[in-house]
Structure 1
Amino acid sequence: MNRPAGHRSGVREVVAYNWPLYTAGIAVAAGAGALHGGLPPRLRPVARAAGAAAAGLLASTTLATWLVYDRSGLYGFDWLDTLLPGPPAAHLVVGTGLDEASVPLAARWPGSRQTTVDLYDPAVMTEGSVRRARRRVPPPTHALPGRAGALPVPDASADAVLLFFAAHELRCRAERGRLFAECARALRPGGSIVLVEHLRDPANTAVFGPGAWHFYPRREWLRLADETGLRLAAERRIAGLVTAFSFTRGAGA
């Protein structure tokens, strides 16, 4: 899970949520250096390579986190203007453990009726990073509990649905499909689903290494949209590592 919180440091927040991974990386890098001199000559290149790989991954991950979450305009939400035709009269924010969008969106669209749904289920979302994030940033009191296949909102009640670093936390393929179907059900004709995610692609793999396998490739999100009767209306890359999609529901859908 990757998140800066408002005016906090994005790097500090990400490290706090994922500290076991950072600790393991530092331990590998330091351990390889400490053990290098005492190893047989034939094993020293292996130790050097392991230490260099761990140090390089720590550096690239930290730099990418800083660029995306501390330096880009991701949390200014100005990029929404290129994905939506205008401020929605009503919008739905769906989270899966950590709500980082409802407050800034309420400020951005003060005339829009907002509904926030929290899908967090500790029995399903077992990753430690999610638990640590929720302890540090509890869900807002206005959030409604829900399930991927049962959002507590009426049909055709929102002009926009925002999934902000949320959908990838549903690790079951069927659950992601149910979520997209429910989001489409909540959309008014002509409405849009805005999906914001890191992708499992060369850029994210280069900086996050094996961690990029926690993300899904672009084709997965396009598949879900197609199976739900949505079409890709717009797509924008943010800071080179985050992709924002806008999927629309046609008037006859």
Structure 2
Amino acid sequence: MIKNILYFVVLTGVVCQSYGQSLVNDGAEIMLQESAVVFSTESFVNRNNGQIKGDGTMDFAEAMNFAVINPGVVIGDLSFDSSLINSSAAGFMLDIQGNAGIGIENGHDHVFVDGDLVMNGILDIATIDGFVPATTDSFTIISYTGNISGQFTAVTLGGNLTGFAVDYTLPGQIRLVHESILSVQEATIESLQVFPNPTNDFIYIRSLDKIDRVEVYNLIGKQVLVTTKTDKVDLGRLAKGMYLVKIYSEQKFNVKKIKVQ
């Protein structure tokens, strides 16, 4: 049985349920407010120019997008607690208000997928409120925990994003970065060792190549540490969990997954 949603607004704290059936948004706007949750034991389909907007979680066995995903009212963070399959008709409309972080005021829109991600369709992204990003800024626009296949088939950059491009090189993240950053390619750093793993505090980095910089990201793409003191890196202040450690050497980098316990 398919349930069509003609108009659907999820207000603060309201949880919408549909057990044993799929949900189909047929051209309406679904607005999630203040971490609201929409869930079903089956699948969700967004189609016919339907829009998923706001801040909250879509919790389904699987989500299929044939229309528009547009986080936030101004800036927002939308989560899918499942795989997300995007068709060629899919569109992502994202804004960058500043470099304060993911899904917060003066930050940028973000989509989180707790599962596999099939990319397709169009990315339409722009700066707002006069924000001008620096060439060193990077914006994690989509994070995912599973495997990824495909890429956006077209990208439209608005506002002050001249020289920026989409980057798929970091595991678990799709970022918007300046083209000067993309000139650094992922390649093998000779005899690279990162230990211990897991760690309680420090990691040690050894290589025959000179290490220039180390960046540490959590699994939703937020940079939590950057340092040029590269032989011994202190992770002791980070919360327990998994992190991506990006290690730079001249025009190349490697990424290692490290557990802090």
Q: Scaled by the length of structure 2, what TM-score is found?
A: 0.25
Task: Flag the structure with more relative contact order, 1 or 2, with Cα contacts below 8 A and sequence separation at least 6.
Answer: 1
Q: As a proportion of its length, which structure holds more helix?
A: 1
What's the TM-score, normalizing by structure 1? Answer: 0.26
Which has the larger strand fraction?
2
